[in-house]
Amino acid sequence: GWQALIEKSRAKVEDLRGRVDLNSLISFFQMAMPRENWKPKGYFRYQRSVLIFEKPDKTCVIRLYEGMVYTYVEIFVTPASS
C-alpha cells in the first residue's frame, strides 16, 4: 500500500489516479499520515492541493488535483536535509 511505499523509499515519486472525491482524499491523508507518525508541516488547497509531512529522517509532499475523469495523487518522499 501507500504507507509501505513511503516507508521504504529513499527518494521516490509515485503517481496514482482514481475516481475519488478530492476533499475526501485530502481528509484521508490528513488523518492517516499522523497515525503513521508523520508530522503535518503545512498545506494549501487550490486547483492543485499540497500536503507536507515530516518524520525525523524524511519529508513527504503529496500533491492532489482533479482531472476531467480522475483524481490524481503524486507522492514525493525524500530523505530529510541535514
- DSSP E strand boundaries for 1-82: 12-18, 39-44, 48-55, 58-66, 71-79
Q: Which residue has the higher pLDDT, 32 or 79?
A: 32
- Residue 48 in 3-state DSSP? strand
Give the predicted TM-score (pTM) of the model.
Answer: 0.80
Residues 44-71 pLDDT 10s:
988 889 999 999 999 999 999 999 999 9
**Of 58, 31, 55, 38, nearest in space to 76 by CA:** 58
Query: Which pLDDT score is estimated for 10?
Result: 55
Q: From residue 53, how far is each of 7, 45, 65, 80 by CA, in Å? A: 13, 15, 18, 11
Query: Residue 78 — very low, low, confident or very high, per pLDDT cuts 50/70/90?
Result: confident
Cβ–Cβ < 8 Å for 33, 53: yes
What nine digits make up the cell of 52?
507536507
